[in-house]
Amino acid sequence: GRGIGELERLGQGGFGSVFAGYRREDRLPVRVTPQNHTPCVSTYMSDPLHPLLNSKAGPGAVVLLLDWFQLDQELLLVQERPDASVDLRAYMRSKGSTLQEQEAKVCGVVEGIQGLHSRSVLHRDIKPENLLVETGSDTPRVRIIDLGCGCLHNNEVYLEFDGTDSHIPPEWYARGAYRADPMTVWQLGVLLYEMLTGHVPFQTSTEIIWKKLPRIESDISPSETHIHTRAFIHKHAPVKLWSCLPSTRMSLTYGD
C-alpha cells in the first residue's frame, strides 16, 4: 500500500505489529509502525508539511519519519530503517559497552529528545526497545525510533498517557497528570539505570510512588565499581533525574 513494498513482520510494538519493507520509489528500507489514534495525534499528523516529514529537517539522533497513512482504523507511521542496526535492549545483551560508550549513548538520546521537542513532538516512551544502535561504524550511534506513543509537545499539563508502565513517572500515578519535560527526564533516569544494571528500577506503580530511590552503585556489576563509574553516575545524578517532585528534576537543556 501507498508506495511501500514487501512488508515483513519485525516484532511487536506498543499498538500492534511493526513491519519492515522498502519505499518503492527508491528502494529505501523502511519500518512501518502502528500509532495510537488519539485526537492530538490526529491533529498533529494531519499537517503533511510538519518538519518531521521533511527528511532535510529531521534531527540526526532520531530515525526519520518519512510518511504516514491510514489503513482501516489504524494510523501507520513510515520511518527509515538503517542497515546494520539493533535495538539497545538486544545490543546490551549481546555486546555490552564501556562507560564511555554508555555516556555517548545517553548524550545521543538527549540530543534526539531535544530535536523532537524543538519540532513539537513528545515521544513518551523512551526505553531500550525504542532506541536503535547503528553498528555499521567503529562508534555505534544511538537513535530514537517508534513514535507510536507520541503526541504534541507543549508546556501544558497532560491528562492522558501512553507508554510503558515501568517507565511512567510518579506524578501520573499519584495525580493523573504530568508535564512533558519532567516526565521525559524521569524516563531518562530509568533508562540510565537499565543501561548500568541490566534491569528496571521499578516494577509496579506502588514502587514508583513509594520505593526508595535505588542505589545504582550497589546494583552494577563488580567489574564496573570503579571511580569512572561513580563519576559517571554523579554527573548524571539519579536523584535529580528521579526526584518525586517534577519541578526539582534536571533540565533537558545543556548547562541548566
Instruction: In whole angstroms, give the CA distance from residue 60 to residue 83.
Output: 15
Residue 109 neighbours by CB under 8 Å, 6+ apart = 61, 126, 131, 142, 144, 188, 191
C-alpha cell at 194: 537499565
CB 106 within 8 A of CB 236: yes
Instruction: Render the burial of 218-239: b for 16+ CB within 10 Å, e for the rest.
Output: eebeeebeeeebeebbeebebe
Has 256 been annotated as catalytic?
A: no
What does each C-alpha distance from 68 to 2, 33, 44, 112, 132 come to in angstroms?
Answer: 9, 9, 11, 20, 20
Annotated active-site residue in 67, 83, 125, 165: 125
- Residues labelled as active-site residues: 125
